[in-house]
Structure 1
Amino acid sequence: MSFIATIMLVSNLTNPIPPGLDPNKPAPIYDSPDLYGASPSVIALEPSTIRAKLYGLGFRPITSMRFVGGRWKISAVYQGKLRALEVNPDNGIIIADRPARN
């Protein structure tokens, strides 16, 4: 018997399944509407802070800014070209930057 198999066997013997727990039932997965909410979470940065970060990176002017699917969807001009951005609301990091559709 391999060392890893021995460790797994011993850990199962020392940590028995609690009574009333069905070992065949899958574990619950946390999926909440809050994860994809229509408004930023309480720990999210203020929209003005997100705008200031983008201005500092050279995105100006910002033509639209809306919160959809847990992210900021932003249209802004960079070097004379309109860009479509997705920004993380909690830290202001740009997740996606691509040319905007006309």
Structure 2
Amino acid sequence: MIFLTAIALVGNLTNPIPPGLDSNSPPPFYNSPPAPIYDSPDLYGAEPSVIALDLSTIKAKLYGLGFNPITSVEFVGGRWKIRAVYGRELRALEVNPDNGIIIADRPAKN
């Protein structure tokens, strides 16, 4: 079976260029305008998207991980910026609003 597949592939590789095609000219799609990459509102808006978790759900997840109390919450740059105490240390967190995953966790600067 592998032998027959190899013969079919080699046979297709050795087919001549069809008549009427110039092998030195670029394909016709090179001259067309580029397709838009993303046509939507700002990805990093001032409020969470419609698929984002509720803030109460994110807070509950953080409480479950031991971040208590949560001292401040702000939505900036498409992420929740949260200050919370872990143990006895104030931490600065960045949380993904869509799934509640902590992106960054570092000591908070006063």
TM-score range, shorter chain: 0.7 to 0.9
Would the alpha carbon gap of residues 31 and 75 (structure 1) be closer, same or farther in structure 2, given more than 3 Å must change?
Answer: farther
TM-score (norm 1): 0.74
Would the alpha carbon gap of residues 82 and 36 (structure 1) be closer, same or farther in structure 2, given more than 3 Å must change?
Answer: same
Structure-to-structure mapping, 1:11-26, within 5 angstroms: 17=28, 23=31, 25-26=33-34
TM-score (norm 2): 0.69
Report the aligned-residue RMSD: 2.7
Q: 3-state DSSP class of the match of 1:34?
A: coil
Q: 3-state DSSP class of the match of 2:92?
A: strand
What amino acid is the match of 1:30?
Answer: Y
Give the ranges of 4+ consecutive aligned residues of structure 1 lying more than 4 Å apart after TM superposition. none
Q: Count residues with an aligned counterpart.
A: 89
**Which has the larger Rg?**
2
List runs of 5+ in structure 1 lacking aligned partners. none
Question: How far off its partner does 1:30 sit?
Answer: 1.5
Q: 3-state DSSP class of the match of 2:57?
A: helix
Q: Percent identity?
A: 75
Q: 3-state DSSP class of the match of 2:43?
A: helix
